[in-house]
Amino acid sequence: MHSIVEYITSYLQSNQTPGAAGNFAWATIYILLVFVGLSIAVICMNWLERKILAHMQVRLGPMRVGPHGLLQPIADALKLLLKEDIIPAEADATVFWIAPFIVVLAAFTVFVVVPFGPTHAITDMNIGILFMLGVSSLAVLGIVTAGWASNSHYPLIGALRSSAQMVSYEVAMGLAVVSAIMMTSANAEGTGTLSMIGIVQAQLEQHEWFLFKYFPLGIVAFAIFAIAMVAETNRAPFDLPEAESELTAGFHTEYSGFRWSLFFLAEYSAMIAVSSIAVTLWMGGWLRPFPNALSGPTWDLVFSLFPGLTFLFLAALCFYSTARMPKHPLFRIQTMGLAGFGVVLALIGLILFWGPARTRIEDIYWFSAKVAGFMYLYIWYRGTFPRYRFDQLMKVGWKVLLPTGLALLILTAIVGMRTEILSMFQEGLR
């Protein structure tokens, strides 16, 4: 018994990820934390998408279910769980059953290497970014099998189009990622790294987000990845394979109830995963703004107050909305619920002002804030851009992004090795 407690507490002194320290107990705890956090994030994302999209379209969105529709995602989840499970008549039952799990597996396994902080990752693989790209490409298999197993025209065409699109944009994503990896080797020893934590530490050591490195190469690489990641996750404006007006929901037409919710969960998790890749590679991961330019204990203190301030701001929004609720007896419960939610947020904000919570949360907070920015971009794209036709989509993927990515790769390599190339020229001229 004593040895188990010691096993568990011995990790707290180490400064490694649980995978590196070989600690199964803490690795399991981190896995559960990531799983729970991801589920909560998907639920929030559902609500946020409907509200933000609605406000962009000058309407209100869900307002009935809870105060300002806050309980809508829970109601949706309950409905999906209680719906009848329909399998098409001639469909292959085994494959029909397995397909959503493959997609969810691919979307969730990616989070094993996502770095929420310098030691806050489940594990830090040597090949972190390679693993993430590889496992997220396994989702294509799930989509293809889902479309085929439905034994119906629309899902099959939707699945083939969706997987063709995902495979094409994976190439562009890979090229953009490689040019970002090459920037990690611009240090003194000339050694780069593929590990996610190493990439962020390379940005810390080089005093520069890779977004701004070798201007404009960093920005173009980020732009290629940002476009490719939207296409990779089948989101607007690249959502032809699953848009309702085109293919009646594409590859998940025949899926209803719990299986559909698995696809939905996997899609949002994949969105968060590729946003994590973008944040880690180009936007400094868990680093607070200006970790080197504005360093020192006072600036650290100032920036570590941000998590608490954010939650207090959200609580203030809740209280403001409570004040604006209709003063009618039928709205009493909703008003109290909203006020209670505001109080909970304010309490969390106040807890986050306390010293030990501040130091533990700040890396996770900055990472989550950047990923949340990307989620807002996703919703913004959905509300703004018209849909690409499928041939236009493939043309953009192969004829625009791929040559740009290749040119970017070569240019990044040349700029990164400019001193060696110059010395080779000088040697040759001599």
Residues that bind another protein (CB under 8 A): 92, 94-95, 98, 125-127, 130-131, 133-135, 137-138, 140-141, 144-145, 148-149, 156, 160, 163, 167, 170, 191, 194-195
Around 91, how many Cα atoms within 13 Å sit in the side-chain half-sphere? 25
Between 127 and 305, whose beta carbon lies closer to another protein? Answer: 127
Nearer to another protein, 156 or 230 (CB): 156
The total number of residues shown for the chain amounts to 430
Cβ proximity to another protein: between 110 and 236 the closer is 110
Element (H, E) at 114: none
Minimum distance, C-beta of residue 193 to another protein, in the bound complex (Å): 8
For another protein, give the closer residue by CB, 15 or 94.
94
Contact (CB, 8 A) for 398 and 71: no
| Shortest distance (Å) from residue 274 CB to another protein | 15
What is the nearest approach in angstroms of another protein to the Cβ of residue 230?
19
Query: How far is the C-alpha of 319 from the C-alpha of 340, rounded, in Å?
Result: 9
C-alpha to C-alpha distance for 373 and 393, rounded to whole angstroms: 25
What token pair was written down for 73?
Answer: 């995602």
Residue number, 69 or 405, with CB nearest to another protein? 405
CB of 140 to another protein, least distance (A): 5
Among the listed residues 177, 168, 101, the one whose alpha carbon sits nearest the alpha carbon of residue 141? 101
User: Cα–Cα distance between 218 and 220 in angstroms, integer?
Assistant: 6
Residues 86/256, Cβ–Cβ less than 8 Å: yes
Q: Considering the complex, what minimum distance in angstroms separates the CB of residue 393 from another protein? A: 17
Say if CB 408 and CB 217 are below 8 A apart: yes
Least distance in Å: CB of 101 to another protein?
11
The residue (of 333 and 410) whose beta carbon lies closer to another protein is 410
d(CA 407, CA 413): 10
CB of 364 to another protein, least distance (A): 25
Provide, rounded to whole angstroms, the least separation between the CB of residue 303 and another protein.
31
- Residue keyed to tokens 């929004």: 317
For residues 146 and 99, the answer to whether their CB atoms sit within 8 Å is: yes
The residues near 330 (Cβ < 8 Å, ≥ 6 apart) are: none
CB-based contact 71:334 (threshold 8 Å): no
Nearer to another protein, 95 or 305 (CB): 95
CA-CA-CA-CA torsion for 190, 367, 239, 263, nearest 10 degrees? 110
Angle of CA points 151, 157, 161, to nearest 5°: 140
CB 181, min distance to another protein, A: 10
How far apart are the C-alpha atoms of 257 and 337, rounded to whole Å? 29
Of 270 and 338, which CB lies nearer to another protein in the complex structure?
Answer: 270
Separation of CA 199 from chain center: 17
Q: For another protein, give the closer residue by CB, 68 or 161.
A: 161
